[in-house]
Structure 1
Amino acid sequence: MDTSPGGGRNLRERLGSVLFDRVAGPSGPANRARIHNTPGPRWFDPDRPIRTVHGDASMFIGGLSALLLQSLHPLAMTAVAAHSGFRGDPWGRLQRTSTFLAVTTYGTAQDAQLAVERVRAVHERIRGTTAAGEPYRAADPHLLGWVHAAETDSFLRAHERFGARPLGAAGYDAYVADAARVARALGVIDPPRDRASLGDLLARYRPELRATPEALEAARFLLRHPPLPWPARAPYALLAANAIALLPPWAPALLGLRPAAGPVNGVARLSGHALTRTIRWAMTPPPRA
């Protein structure tokens, strides 16, 4: 094993490159350059909490937790199962989502608006009927509100637990307010603007939630059969255990999951901190000489 400074730098670069390629896709380098280097006004100033949260390695855990939570709304899950191609092209879906988050969080205001308009155009085409005969459409503000609330809550919980620099109560209220700006642009009506109103909104959705066969199948795919090479499955299992632990207390049982408890939960949480520190180390460029 190469323990020289150069060897450590090479390991960091290789691991960072693999992670970035998975999350950002083949267009990742070009997208990153455009997002960060194009001059012009942004939706969010450099000191805004949304930039801190969305730029942290805790998003790896929060993103998986958000997918599990979002799947519990039957209409939203049917739309995903029927139209998103998450099983046939899971990495493509992840890359499109991560690019959207990056553009709206860090890109120019013009590029952020164009990204939102593209997503809204896709949503307008997605509609259908569930197996139970319930009509759905992806552009429904009520469904968009659920997806936004579940995502925002999951990202916030993950950063609060695993973020490099947790923000505190006022900072997380400001994060919810920042996320509301993107939600409104996507068509969400009156999104929550602080953590208390976010919790109230999630509670109002609770009677609508249940684990459909599509949700259970999605959970099996994401947790037991991820599209990963075998060497990556052990660290992914640690990520998954912590994503489950982040869910609201009532959610795991609906999906047939059992969060770690007692000392095992403590060990799992330590593994989550170790995992996010490793990802952060790999994806943060080393300081220039």
Structure 2
Amino acid sequence: MSRPSPSEFLRSRLVGRVRAVFNDVEKGQQPVPPSDDAFFVKDSPIRLVHADAVSMMVGGIRSLLLQMLHPPALQGVLDHSNFREDMHGRLRRTARFIAITTFGHRDEADKIIGRVNRIHAQVGGKLPGGTAYSAQDPRTLAWVHVAEALSFLEAYLHYVNPAMPSADQDEYFRQFAVIARKLGADPVPETKADAEALFNEFRDQLKSSAEARAVADLVLNQRPKGTPPGVQTILGTAAVDLLPSFARPMLGLKQPGLSLLPTKIATHTVGRTLRWAFKQ
């Protein structure tokens, strides 16, 4: 049996490392196999955007930072999540949800959506001022969705395909709306313009807080097990750079300075390397 070439050996090692980041390999969790009977057809906009590991990681960090500015979304995390001890696990579970609902068989997608809906039914409480909150609130779910969708697409446009046609960008929101509605979000945008308009509607409801800043610090500085030290810094810096200008001071963050150019170069390089490794 012949040995693999050095390039194939490197490719295999890279694929294994990335799969370990997104799957709980210690428990035998395997990557989600793409299905011909998924919610979305092959090579459609949502599958193209969600297939790129690096831009999805950058977009995911940006999304989580933004979500923590919404008091009910933040309080749900503070009251019902072990994110302080297992931030990587939380991010990995979110990534797996995205993978199954985007690429998996529609029966598996519906199954995991049902599981998340049952979890949301148990998440509720009161904000510091005494106002009740619930993870099933349609507008809270709408905020979480629009922050995610805009963040994933923004990172994809910035680091993968800046020339993605506007029609494909709108189709991305129409496709992602299928998942958002199954989770109970309302309203749900179906074009990029509608998503940006909805995002702006939420501006007055976003709040800066010590808790939001603490979560941001954890997201940016807690290194997942097995992640090379420089990668977390690169992805975090790229995500902070893509935040809306109003959000950075609310989270106690600054616009990346001299580190930004090498960060962009490194992010592009890592992205190209992983696309080569996965033969995309």
Structure 1 residue 197: Cα displacement: 0.5
1:73-222 alignment runs, 5 A limit = 73-163=70-160, 166-222=163-219
Provide the alpha-carbon RMSD of the alignment: 2.2
TM-score (norm 2): 0.91
Aligned position for 2:34 = 36
Aligned length: 276
Of residues 44, 49, 70 in structure 2, which corresponds to 1:48?
Answer: 44
Deviations 1:85-112 (A, max 9, x none): 2122223222221221111111122221
Structure 1, unaligned runs of 5 or more:
none
Alpha-carbon deviations, 1:103-138, whole Å to 9, x = none? 111112222111111110100000111223221110
What is the rounded CA distance, in whole Å, between the counterparts of 1:276 and 1:236 in structure 2? 14
SS at the partner of 1:36? coil
SS of residue paired to 2:125: strand
Determine if contact 1:56/1:164 at 8 Å carries over to the other structure. no
Q: Are 2:173 and 2:192, in contact at CA under 8 Å, matched by a contact in 1?
A: yes
1:69-99 C-alpha deviation (Å, 9 max, x unpaired): 1111111011012212212222322222122
Partner of 1:25: 24
Confirm or deny that 1:260 pairs with 2:256: yes
More helix by share: 1
Report the Cα distance in structure 2 between the residues aligned to 1:12 and 1:174, rounded to whole angstroms: 32
- 1:131 and 1:190, CA in 2 relative to 1: closer, same or farther beyond 3 A? closer
Partner of 1:16: 15
1:242 — aligned with what? 238
8 Å CA contact retained: 1:62, 1:157: yes
Separation in structure 2 between the aligned mates of residue 30 and residue 19 of structure 1, nearest angstrom: 12
Taking the aligned partners of 1:113 and 1:81, their CA distance within structure 2 comes to: 27
Q: Which amino acid aligns with 2:20?
A: D
- What TM-score does the superposition give when structure 1 sets the normalisation length? 0.88
| Cα pair distance change 1:186/1:166, threshold 3 Å | farther
Q: Which 5+ residue runs of structure 2 have no aligned equivalent? A: none
The percent of aligned pairs where both chains have the same amino acid is: 35
* Change over 3 Å in CA distance of 1:166–1:96 after alignment to 2: farther
- Kindly state the Cα deviation for residue 154 of structure 1 after the two structures are TM-superposed: 0.3
Instruction: Tell me which amino acid in the other structure corresponds to 1:239.
Output: L
CA distance in 1, matches of 2:109, 2:145: 17
Runs of 4+ in 1 over 6 A off after TM superposition: none
